[in-house]
Amino acid sequence: MQGWRRSLAFTSLIAALGVLAFTATLASAHSTTKKAGTLNIMGFGTGDDVAESRAAIATAAVGGDVKRPSGAFNDQQFLAAVASGNPPDLVYLDRQKVGTYAAKGAFQPLTSCISSQKINTKQYRIPALNEITYKRKIYGIPEFYDVRTILVDNNVLDMAGVKLSGLDTSNWPKLLATAKKLVKIDSSGKVTRIGFDPKIPEFFPLWAKANGVDILSKDGLTPHLNDPKAVAALAYAVSLVNAQGGWDKFKSFRDTWDFFGANNEIAADQVGAFPMEQWYYNVLAGSSPKVKITALQFRNKKRQPINYETGSAWAIPKGSKNPAAACTWMKTMTSTSTWLAAAKNRASIRKAKNQPYTGISTGNAVADQAIYKQTYTSINPYFDQAVKKVLEVQRFSFNVPASPASAEFKQAWNDAINRVLAGQQTPKQALDQAQKESVAAIKTATK
Amino acid sequence: MATATATAPGPRVRARRWFAGFASRETWAAFAFLSPWLFGFVVFTAGPMIASLILSFTDYSVIQTTHNVGWDNYNRLVHDPKVTTAMKTTLIYTAMVVPAHVVFSLGLAMVLARVGRAAGFFRTAFYLPVMTPAVAVGVLYLLMFNGDYGLINAGLHFFGIHGPYWTTDPNWVKPSLVIMHLWKVGASVVILLAALMAVPTYLYEASAMDGASKWRRFRDVTLPMISPAIFFIVIINTIAALQTFDEVYTAFFNASTPYGTDASLFYVIYLFQEAFVNFHMGYASALAWGLFLVIAVITAIQVIGSRRFVYYEGNKR
């Protein structure tokens, strides 16, 4: 073999060994960086001031090294970590996912954590706890608590000569008539203002509940998607969309909204009203603090207020190498004193920036009382009323219970509603199909 | 002239020859050169493929105990109505996008071949969208194809055409995705341009002298001469179309855009949902092998068909 060939072959061999060594290093990186006492958290990367000020307190409480890789909880990443036998010590994720992972045995029940660290579960909101309770065992600790009220643009109502009483979700014919009065369609047929956005498919559980049906049984095992009341709720929500130009025009216009910007749909008077989570008041306070808004409670057909709640939670995966530190972290992060410290910090930051502060909605009812009592200062009559309303509706909350097939169940009703909106099926046909799919999914998951 | 009459050696002889090659230092040198790729192939391609084949016969979910389920996953695949829907969507899209891709990229390449000095600039300009992240393309798609306020319909309106509701009307979702895809033909344009530049000019001169029209020269000179490049683009884009995921998932199945319907349910999206949303890894592995089989069959048909349509210089075929 000629000399140059030999040296090239040698170089190639070295390169191959290099690739091998690099891969081996990557594979072992995770395990070599882990040391005793380190708390590895997945889904809770560097966050905003509320997250970071609490994380600082929790890190001090844990006393050891805390690793928080960037990024939100990712199923793919979590499953890969579990498959490699190296699960994180603690995860931060959507509450609706906890039941599924608990049913599959991926999370530990927190019975011993709660008793050993004397965590007062009574301070947490019951619907939030229900969401993370599977087969009567608690699998998570609730963090934030998302509340849904109807956000009204007062300007639009004034322009259309409509009174707030017209936006009564307990009186469906009246609400439909109001939506028709508020919607604006130009001469070319384009929707230029939405009257009332029912927010489907996302808020379908709220419409079904308003009509008197829970779409899933309390044990998370029996779907009620094709219950006549659920079908009627969907038919009504779709009729609201159809009365305002139909799905094509309705969505075309809604997709143009500058949702987080200064010229958002409220500031630009592009919508009369829509149900929305409470965090959006905070967005509006930052991006367009001069908007004239009103928050209304969503009422069921019996005129009782209802609130569809969702949020996040902490959970300890099975195989966690540091469950004690994980438990300390969860307890500290969600304690009243920690939440209050974070709220005070946020209030002072906002004040320094001359920005309004609308408070924090947490899964800890005791903390919420303290936060609003001690940190909330008046912004203007509009935001003050909205914040007050958010606090009022918290006690009327319901949730979609934990299920061993939460994701499939949600996918089934979400797809069903999209088929109806696209005109491919009637509400009855779509929800019959969704019922069949979700029953099969739950059956498979509980095998 | 002597004609070759020797018959092809049998498998045993071929194997013996192959092993005998290892006596030569050059064979070892060749394998040394190939070793980085071989390592990557074994570890990152062949290994996972074999693993997924094994998993496709189990109820593997990463978290729970795994059981052997025999052919259950494949049986479910055959009877799953969502598989039929997703495969139908994917095949229709592929049948639409591949010819459109070839025609559009060939048209652009032919224009570029005549541009002269500025060709370099246009090559770069056409290639830029290829490097745009798929997620950004998905978001851009929703804005550009907005029924009442999008750029595409505004353009059509200029010509007096009332454009459809591309993103919400199930009949128009696939055509709109095809049009959006055409934005990213840059790589194919570069390949076809190179092929066009390599066509010997004497062939055009000779055909012109024979009185061939422009169309005739294109049909009988250009197309046969660039047919290997076209064939390559057809194969690559067919496989890519059958694996469509990123842009469509961002536009229709993201947590903030949960508006997907059967019209936008592509096969790989369904596979992803089964694997990483519902944790049915075993079934998802079977779905992956189902797609592999479909791709293999379609590619085989294309390769067999190519014998009739693709011209390789110096090849008697």
Q: What is the pLDDT of residues A133-163, one digit of tens each?
A: 998 999 999 999 999 999 999 999 999 999 9
Q: In a 3-state reduction of DSSP, which class is residue A137?
A: strand
**B35 to A12: CB separation less than 8 angstroms, yes or no:** yes
**B142 to A405: CB separation less than 8 angstroms, yes or no:** no
CB-nearest partner of A105 from B40, B64, B273: B64
- Whether A28 shows a pLDDT value over 50: the answer reads no
Could you tell me which residues come within 8 angstroms of residue A356 by beta carbon, excluding any fewer than 6 positions away? A285, A286, A289, A350, A379, A380, A383
Percent of chain B with pLDDT over 90: 72
CATH 3.40.190.10 for domain A148-308+405-445, yes or no, is: yes
Confidence (pLDDT) at B132: 87
* Residue A246 to residue A249: CA distance in whole angstroms: 6
State pLDDT tens for residues B196-243: 999 999 999 999 999 999 999 999 999 999 999 999 999 999 999 999
- Whether A10 shows a pLDDT value over 90: the answer reads no
**Do A397 and A125 form a contact (C-beta atoms < 8 A)?**
yes
Cβ neighbours of A23 in B, within 8 Å = 43
- Whether B164 shows a pLDDT value over 60: the answer reads yes
**A15 to B260: CB separation less than 8 angstroms, yes or no:** no
* Residue A383 to residue B287: CA distance in whole angstroms: 51
**B29 to A414: CB separation less than 8 angstroms, yes or no:** no
Encoded amino acid at A253, one letter: F
Could you tell me which residues come within 8 angstroms of residue A410 by beta carbon, excluding any fewer than 6 positions away? A96, A400
- Whether A25 shows a pLDDT value over 50: the answer reads no
Mean pLDDT of A213-234: 96
Q: Which chain A residue shows the shortest CA-CA distance from B64?
A: A104
Strand ranges (DSSP E) for A353-438? 397-398
* Token code pair at residue A61: 């409480």
Confidence (pLDDT) at A270: 98
Question: What's the predicted TM-score (pTM) here?
Answer: 0.86
Using an 8 Å CB-CB cutoff, list residues of chain B that contact chain A.
25-26, 28-29, 32-36, 39-40, 43, 61-64, 142-143, 146-150, 165, 167-170, 258-263, 273, 276-279, 281
**A255 to B279: CB separation less than 8 angstroms, yes or no:** no
CATH 3.40.190.10 for domain A38-146+311-344, yes or no, is: yes
The class (CATH top level) of B74-309 is mainly alpha
Could you tell me which residues come within 8 angstroms of residue B314 by beta carbon, excluding any fewer than 6 positions away? none
Average pLDDT, chain A: 90
Shortest Cα distance, chain B CAs vs residue A419, angstroms: 6
* Residue B196 to residue B199: CA distance in whole angstroms: 6
Res. A377 pLDDT band, cuts 50 70 90: confident
* A38-146+311-344 and A148-308+405-445: identical CATH topology: yes
- Whether A433 shows a pLDDT value over 80: the answer reads yes
Cβ neighbours of B62 in A, within 8 Å = 79, 82-83
**A12 to B167: CB separation less than 8 angstroms, yes or no:** no
Q: In a 3-state reduction of DSSP, which class is residue A184?
A: strand
**B262 to A424: CB separation less than 8 angstroms, yes or no:** yes
Q: Is the ipTM of this complex over 0.95?
A: no
**A75 to B276: CB separation less than 8 angstroms, yes or no:** yes
Cβ neighbours of A407 in B, within 8 Å = 277-278
